[in-house]
Structure 1
Amino acid sequence: MKNIFITILFLFVLGSCSSDDFFTESPYLPYAPVDIEIDLNDPHFRILKEYEGALFLDDGYSGVLGVIIFNSGAGYRAYEAACPNHAVRDCSTLEFDGNLLYCVCENVDFSMHTGNALNGGYRLREYSVQTYRNTLTIRN
């Protein structure tokens, strides 16, 4: 009887756990493939070697509206350039404001260090960044 109680309690606790992605992943952004390789020795990307250096990259096929790459000092982060708080429209491309990203559609700021919305809304869609020597590989 004690084992049954423990098993039921375990299943209840396990079932009540949920991923934060359910609450933070935007339902507005469609899937878009991202497969980018960047040579940090290329002069076009030298800004990324600087602390809090950021770059908008729109190669026409990566991400929904492109990818924003950021040097946080502790590593590189890559985010979708489309605001996650609404369906994609003309004003959806995020703009740089220091080490913040800004959505002009809804006046929402996002931290490039964390990807979190600072004044409400979904967090930015983040892409995986692998670093090997002077090469960044960004994928989803």
Structure 2
Amino acid sequence: MKKAVILSLLTVLTWGCSKDGFSNQNPYLPNYGFSMEVNTNLPSYNSLLFTGNSVRVYPVNGPTNGVIVFNTGSTYNAFDGSCPNQNITSCSKLTLSSSNAHCECEGENYNLFNGQTTGKPYGLKQYRVQVNGNIITVYN
């Protein structure tokens, strides 16, 4: 009996956790497998060099409404460009305004510093980011 409990616990710990503790599961938004590079030396992405600026990028095989990349001042955040608390529809594309992303369908503003809003079960779907010089790599 003791061996079965220990084996069950080890199985849960091994399979129940991701390698780096990162989870972006959302029942309304698909899990796209993609990787993209954003070069802030290029004019279309140069605004990302400044805190509080964001751009929308459409990676190959990525989210339908693109990926929002945002400069927090100390790092970069990357979020799915769709409203996180509903299925993807014609009105679910987030619009960017300063340090917020607005969902017209929900009438909600999401903070791009943390991806959160109040009173909703899901914040913005976040993607992994790595920075190497002027290259920002976003991936899922």
Q: TM-score range by the shorter chain?
A: 0.7 to 0.9
Task: Kindly provide the CA deviation profile for residues 58-86 of structure 1, in whole angstroms up to 9, marking residues without a partner as x.
Answer: 24532232100000001000000011100
Partner Cα distance (2:93, 2:123) in 1: 15
Q: Which runs of 4+ in 1 moved over 6 A?
A: none
Partner Cα distance (2:121, 2:81) in 1: 15
Question: What is the DSSP-based 3-state SS (H/G/I as helix, E as strand, rest coil) of the residue aligned with 2:45?
Answer: helix
Larger radius of gyration: 1
2:101 and 2:109 in contact (8 A); partners too: yes
Aligned residues: 128
Partner of 2:65: 65
2:35 and 2:59 in contact (8 A); partners too: no
Partner of 1:134: 134
What are the residue-to-residue correspondences of 1:45-124 with 2, within 5 Å? 45-59=45-59, 61-124=61-124
Partner of 1:29: 29
Rate the CA distance shift 1:110–1:68 in 2: closer, same or farther, 3 A: same
Unaligned runs of 5+ in 1: none
2:34 and 2:60 in contact (8 A); partners too: no
Partner Cα distance (2:32, 2:64) in 1: 6
Report percent identity of matched pairs: 28
Q: Which amino acid aligns with 1:77?
A: N
Deviates more, 1:105-114 or 1:34-43: 34-43
Partner Cα distance (1:109, 1:44) in 2: 25
1:29 and 1:64 in contact (8 A); partners too: no
- TM-score, structure 2 as length reference: 0.79
Q: Which has the higher helix share?
A: 1
Partner Cα distance (2:107, 2:121) in 1: 11
- TM-score, structure 1 as length reference: 0.79
Rate the CA distance shift 1:139–1:60 in 2: closer, same or farther, 3 A: closer
Q: Which amino acid aligns with 1:132?
A: N
1:66 and 1:81 in contact (8 A); partners too: yes
1:70 and 1:78 in contact (8 A); partners too: yes
